[in-house]
C-alpha cells in the first residue's frame, strides 16, 4: 500500500502544478525582467512615492479593518459562545449568512447605504447629527466600514471555536478560589482565547491586504495594492511591475502566517514549561 | 462574592447581550436594503423605495446577458467544484490514511489557495492560460476556480477521516475487499457529508469569485459577478438590485442545501 500511495496525490499535482505552482514561478521570473536590470522593479516599488503611498494605504486599511473586526467580533463571539440551544444556532446563522452573499453584492449594498442620499446620511441628518451629507465613498471611511462588515465572520468563527473549547471547569475552579466574574474572564477566558485572536487577526489582515472588489467600488481616491496590480497588468501592460507588486503581497502573506506559526509554537512550548505536561 | 457585585456582573452581561443582538440584526440590514430597492418603480435608486413594482425583475429575466452569465457561472462552478472535490478527496486520503511521501507539501499546497490573494494568482495564471491556448475559454476559469476551491473539500474530508478509526478500512481489506471496493462501501459512506459540504463550499467560492474571472474570461465566458461588476462600474440601476436579489435567493437555497443535506445523508 505504502509504495503506491503517492498515486493519491496525482490529481492534486495535475491541478496544482500547472495552475498554482507554475503561476507563482511565472510572477517570480517576470518580476526580475524590468527594462533597467534585475532589481529594477523592486527598486521602483519601494522608491516610487505613488506606489509607496498605495502600499501604506493598503497596510493602514488592513490594520484598521483587523482592529475594528476584533473589537466588534470578540464580544459577539464571547456572547455567542455562552448561548445554548436554538439561540446559539440562530446567532451563528446570522453571522454566517452575510458570509455567503457575494462580495460584489455586499459592496453594492454599502454603496446604497452610504451614498450621498443613502439611508445612513438621511438618518443622521434627521436626528440632527450632521448638517450636510457626509461623502463616505470618497474619504476611505465607507471602504473600511464595508470591509469590516465583510471580514467580521472571518474573525468571529475562529474566536467562537476557541471560546467554546475552554473547559468550563476552569472557570468554576477560578470562582471557587475566589475570583469574581471579571477576574475569571481576565485570568482564564482572555489568555486562553489569545491564540484564536491571533488566528482571526492573521486571516482578516491577509484577506484585507488582497481586497479588490470593495476598494474599487467604495475606495474613492484611496487605491489599494490589488487595484494597482490590476491596472498595471490589464491596462498599462506593465507585467514586470505588476509581478513585483504581487511578489511583495505574497511575501507579506507568508510573513504573517510564519509569525502566526511561530507564536503558536512558542506558546505551546511555554505551556509545556508551565504545566510540565508533554502535549 | 458579594451580592451587589453579582448584580453588577449580571447587568453587564445583559447589556453586552443586547449590544451583540443589535450587531447581529444589523448584519442583515445591508442585505435587506438591496432587496428593498429592487422593487423601486422609478429608473433610479432611492431609499426608502418610492413604491412597489416588479418591472426590474421582468427586465432582468428578459436580459440575455444575465441568463448567459448565470449559465456560465453555474457551469464553471459545477465543473470547478467537481475537480476540486476529486483532488481534495484523493489528497485527504493520501495525507490522513496513507501518510504518503510528500504529505506536508500536499497539505500546504491544498490550503494555500484559501489565503493567497486572488490577484497574485490571476497575474501568474494569465500568461499560462495564453500559452496553453485556454485564454478566454470556460476551461481557463474552471481550472483557476478548481485551485481556489480545493482547500474546502480537502479540509472537510481531512476532518471527516480523522473523526473515525482507519480500522474500519483495514477490516474491510482483511475481509478481501480491494482499495476501490473499500472506498466505495466503507470510506465513501463515512465521508459523504464532508464531501457534499466541501463541494458546496467550493461551488460557492467559484460563484463569488471576481478577480480571476476579470483576467481569464472573455465577453462570451463572462460570469455573474463579472457582469454585476461591469454594470456597477457603468451605472447603478434598480435592475442590478433585482439581479442581486435573485442571486441572494439562489445562494440561500444553496446554504440550506449545504447545512441540511449532509445531515440527511448521514441519517439515510
pLDDT of residue A152: 93
- Residue predicted with more confidence, B167 or B84: B84
| Grid cell of B135 as nine digits | 485564454
Does the distance separating the beta carbons of A19 and B91 come in below 8 Å? no
The reply to whether A229 touches chain B by the CB within 8 Å rule is yes
pLDDT of residue A21: 93
Work out the average pLDDT over B160-172: 88
Residue A193 has phi, psi (to 5 degrees) of -90, -10
**Which CATH architecture is the domain B60-267 placed in?**
Orthogonal Bundle (1.10)
Q: Does the pLDDT value for residue B163 go beyond 90?
A: no
Interface mutation target, options A4, A16, A180, chain B, most CBs of B under 10 Å: A16
Nearest to B196 by CA among B143, B145, B160: B160
Chain B closest-CA separation from residue A190 CA (Å): 16
pLDDT of residue B158: 92
Which residues face B136 on adjacent strands? B217
Distance CA A35, CA B127 (A): 19
Q: What is the mean pLDDT of each run of 10 residues along chain A (279 residues)?
A: 76 92 92 82 87 93 96 93 84 80 88 84 83 81 93 92 88 87 86 90 92 89 91 87 92 91 83 53
* pLDDT tens figures, B191-236: 998 898 899 889 988 988 999 999 999 888 999 899 999 888 887 7
Find the angle CA(A86)-CA(A89)-CA(A93) to the nearest 5 degrees: 140
Ordered by start, the domain boundaries in chain B are 3-55, 60-267
The reply to whether A126 touches chain B by the CB within 8 Å rule is no
Residues of A in contact with B153 (CB under 8 A): none
Q: Does the pLDDT value for residue B55 go beyond 90?
A: no
pLDDT of residue B268: 46
Distance CA B214, CA B226 (A): 7
Element at B113 (helix H, strand E)? helix B103-115
Does the distance separating the beta carbons of A234 and B215 come in below 8 Å? yes
CB-closest option in A10, A22, A75 to B16: A75
Residue whose cell numbers read 480537502 = B154
Q: Does domain A38-238 have CATH number 1.10.3720.10?
A: yes
Does the distance separating the beta carbons of B116 and A234 come in below 8 Å? no
Work out the average pLDDT over B149-167: 91
Interface of A with B in 185-214 (CB under 8 A): 203, 206-207, 209-210, 212-213
Nearest to A99 by CA among A161, A163, A149, A158: A149
pLDDT of residue A156: 93
Q: Does the pLDDT value for residue B155 go beyond 70?
A: yes
pLDDT of residue B267: 54
Report the percentage of chain B scoring pLDDT > 70.
95
Shortest CA distance from B146: residue in chain A: A15
* pLDDT tens figures, A211-229: 999 999 888 888 999 999 9
Contact B236, A130 (CB under 8 A): no
Average pLDDT over chain B reads 87
ipTM of the complex: 0.83
Work out the average pLDDT over B114-135: 92
pLDDT of residue A1: 47
pLDDT of residue A279: 39
Does the distance separating the beta carbons of A182 and B27 come in below 8 Å? no
Chain A closest-CA separation from residue B144 CA (Å): 6
Amino acid at each position: 500500500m505504502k509504495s503506491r500511495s503517492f498515486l493519491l496525490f496525482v490529481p492534486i499535482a495535475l491541478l496544482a502544478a500547472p495552475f498554482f505552482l507554475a503561476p507563482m514561478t511565472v510572477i517570480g521570473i517576470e518580476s526580475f525582467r524590468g527594462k533597467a536590470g534585475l532589481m529594477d522593479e523592486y527598486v521602483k516599488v519601494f522608491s516610487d512615492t505613488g506606489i509607496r503611498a498605495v502600499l501604506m494605504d493598503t497596510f493602514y486599511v488592513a490594520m484598521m479593518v483587523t482592529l475594528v473586526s476584533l473589537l466588534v467580533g470578540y464580544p459577539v463571539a464571547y456572547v455567542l459562545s455562552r448561548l445554548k440551544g436554538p439561540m446559539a444556532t440562530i446567532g451563528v446563522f446570522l453571522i454566517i449568512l452575510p458570509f455567503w452573499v457575494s462580495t460584489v453584492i455586499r459592496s453594492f449594498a454599502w454603496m446604497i447605504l452610504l451614498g450621498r442620499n443613502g439611508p445612513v446620511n438621511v438618518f443622521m441628518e434627521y436626528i440632527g447629527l450632521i448638517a450636510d451629507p457626509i461623502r463616505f465613498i470618497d474619504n476611505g471611511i465607507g471602504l473600511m466600514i464595508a470591509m469590516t462588515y465583510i471580514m467580521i465572520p472571518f474573525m468571529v468563527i475562529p474566536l467562537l471555536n476557541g471560546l467554546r473549547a475552554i473547559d468550563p471547569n476552569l472557570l468554576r475552579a477560578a470562582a471557587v478560589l475566589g475570583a469574581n466574574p471579571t477576574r475569571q474572564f481576565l485570568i482564564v477566558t482572555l489568555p486562553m482565547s489569545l491564540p484564536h485572536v491571533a488566528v482571526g487577526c492573521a486571516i482578516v489582515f491577509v484577506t484585507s491586504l488582497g481586497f479588490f472588489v470593495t476598494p474599487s467600488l467604495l475606495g474613492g481616491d484611496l487605491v489599494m495594492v490589488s487595484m494597482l496590480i490590476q491596472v498595471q497588468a490589464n491596462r498599462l501592460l506593465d507585467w514586470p511591475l505588476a509581478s513585483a507588486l504581487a511578489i511583495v503581497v505574497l511575501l507579506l502573506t507568508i510573513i504573517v502566517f510564519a509569525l502566526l506559526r511561530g507564536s503558536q509554537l512558542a506558546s505551546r512550548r511555554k505551556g509545556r514549561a508551565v504545566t510540565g505536561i508533554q502535549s | 462574592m458579594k451580592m451587589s457585585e453579582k448584580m453588577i456582573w449580571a447587568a453587564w452581561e445583559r447589556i453586552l447581550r443586547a449590544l451583540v443582538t443589535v450587531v447581529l440584526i444589523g448584519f442583515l440590514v445591508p442585505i435587506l436594503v438591496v432587496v428593498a430597492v429592487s422593487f423601486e418603480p422609478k429608473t433610479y435608486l432611492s431609499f426608502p423605495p418610492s413604491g412597489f413594482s416588479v418591472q426590474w425583475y421582468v427586465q432582468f429575466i428578459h436580459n440575455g446577458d444575465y441568463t448567459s452569465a448565470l449559465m456560465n457561472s453555474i457551469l464553471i462552478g459545477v465543473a470547478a467544484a467537481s475537480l476540486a472535490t476529486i483532488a481534495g478527496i484523493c489528497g485527504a486520503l493520501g495525507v490522513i490514511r496513507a501518510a504518503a511521501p510528500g504529505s506536508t507539501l500536499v497539505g500546504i499546497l491544498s490550503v494555500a489557495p484559501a489565503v493567497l490573494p486572488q490577484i497574485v494568482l490571476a497575474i501568474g495564471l494569465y500568461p499560462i492560460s495564453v500559452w496553453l491556448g485556454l485564454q478566454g475559454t470556460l476551461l481557463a476559469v474552471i481550472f483557476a476556480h478548481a485551485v481556489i476551491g480545493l482547500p474546502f473539500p480537502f479540509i472537510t474530508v481531512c476532518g471527516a477521516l480523522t473523526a473515525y478509526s482507519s480500522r474500519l478500512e483495514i477490516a474491510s481489506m482483511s475481509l478481501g475487499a480491494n482499495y476501490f471496493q473499500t472506498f466505495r462501501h466503507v470510506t465513501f459512506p463515512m465521508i459523504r457529508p464532508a464531501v457534499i459540504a466541501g463541494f458546496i463550499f467550493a461551488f460557492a467560492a467559484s460563484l463569488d469569485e471576481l478577480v480571476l474571472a476579470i483576467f481569464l474570461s472573455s465577453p462570451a465566458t463572462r460570469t455573474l459577478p463579472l457582469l454585476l461588476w461591469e454594470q456597477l462600474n457603468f451605472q447603478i440601476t434598480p435592475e442590478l438590485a433585482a439581479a442581486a436579489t435573485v442571486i441572494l435567493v439562489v445562494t440561500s437555497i444553496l446554504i440550506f442545501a449545504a447545512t441540511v443535506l449532509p445531515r440527511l445523508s448521514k441519517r439515510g
